Amino acid sequence: MKSYKDLDVYNLALSLFYRTHRLSLTLPKYELYELGSQIRRSSDSVATNIVEGYGRKRYKMDFIKFLTYSHASNLETICHL
């Protein structure tokens, strides 16, 4: 594995981020800036935490910690949806 881009979980998270982001922009105006913004931020956090954890993979516990953050952000996104 040469890069985080080789991780299937990263590619899946990024794909879901793009789909979720597009979906959030179709919310009614009264939800677009509150709930929509939170959905965009939490779904983005799933992929970015995987990347940050990969950058710390030298330290196994840090990598695991960021994967845990990614999982939690995924659950948050699901709750908002």
CA–chain centroid gap for 30, Å, is 24
Token pair for 39: 């959905």
- The mean pLDDT value for 39-44 works out to 97
- By the 8 A CB rule, do 11 and 5 touch? yes
Q: What is the pLDDT of residue 61?
A: 95
| Cα separation, 35 vs 22, whole angstroms | 14
- The mean pLDDT value for 22-31 works out to 93
Q: What is the pLDDT of residue 21?
A: 95
The predicted-structure confidence for 42-72, as pLDDT tens digits, reads as follows: 999 999 999 999 999 899 999 999 999 999 9
Question: Which DSSP symbol is given to 6?
Answer: G
- The mean pLDDT value for 19-34 works out to 93
| Cα separation, 42 vs 4, whole angstroms | 19
Q: What is the pLDDT of residue 1?
A: 75
